[in-house]
Each structure stands twice: as structure tokens, then as C-alpha cells.
């Protein structure tokens, strides 16, 4: 299953495509960025979502609070 995932990713990025290769900036990093800009552009009405969550385990005693951050999660997705 992992192999299928990797191969689909390589296909998505165009590694097996017949489209002409578009170099940018004379280096591979800029060329990859150019490719990603095309592939990952927003379609009409698309928007993104950013979510961040901290989770605290809290112990209350005599009005005082002990707060310990146990986890922070952040993710971003295209909707």
C-alpha cells in the first residue's frame, strides 16, 4: 500500500507525464516550487483551514491551578 501511495505521489507531481519540463531559476528547488505552484493553486471557491489545538491537564486545588501543556497540534488543509 505504501508503494502505491508513493507511486501515486510521483505521478501527481508529473514525474511520468509527457508534459514538457519547465525549468526555473537554473536550479532544482525553484523548478520544484514552480511545479507545485501550478499543481497546488486554489480552484474557484476553494479555501484553506488552519487549526491549532493545545490540550492542558489541569489540577485545581484551593483555587490555584497547575497547568501543564501536554500537546499542541496544528494542521492546515485545503477545502
Partner 1 sequence: MSKPDALMYGQQIITSTLEAYGAPDGHSAMALTVGVPCGIATQMVLDGTLSTPGVLVPYTKEICDPLRERLEEEGIAMVERVL
Among 7, 15, 36, 67, contact with partner 1 (rule: CB under 8 A): 67
Report the SS3 class of residue 30: helix
Report the SS3 class of residue 20: coil
Q: Give the shortest CB-60-to-partner 1 separation in angstroms.
A: 7
Told to check if 2 binds partner 1 by CB under 8 A, we report: no
- Asked if 44 and 68 count as a contact pair (C-beta separation under 8 A), the reply is no
Q: In this chain, which stretch among 2-10, 15-23, 24-32, 43-51 interacts with partner 1, using CB under 8 A? A: 43-51
Among 2, 46, 62, 64, contact with partner 1 (rule: CB under 8 A): 46
- Asked if 73 and 52 count as a contact pair (C-beta separation under 8 A), the reply is yes
Amino acid at each position: 500500500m505504501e508503494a502505491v501511495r508513493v507511486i501515486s505521489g510521483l505521478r501527481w507531481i508529473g514525474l511520468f507525464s509527457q508534459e514538457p519540463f519547465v525549468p526555473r531559476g537554473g536550479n532544482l528547488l525553484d523548478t520544484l516550487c514552480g511545479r507545485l505552484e501550478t499543481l497546488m493553486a486554489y480552484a474557484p471557491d476553494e479555501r484553506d483551514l488552519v487549526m491549532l489545538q493545545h490540550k492542558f491537564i489541569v489540577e485545581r486545588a484551593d483555587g490555584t491551578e497547575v497547568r501543564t501543556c501536554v500537546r499542541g497540534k496544528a494542521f492546515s488543509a485545503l477545502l
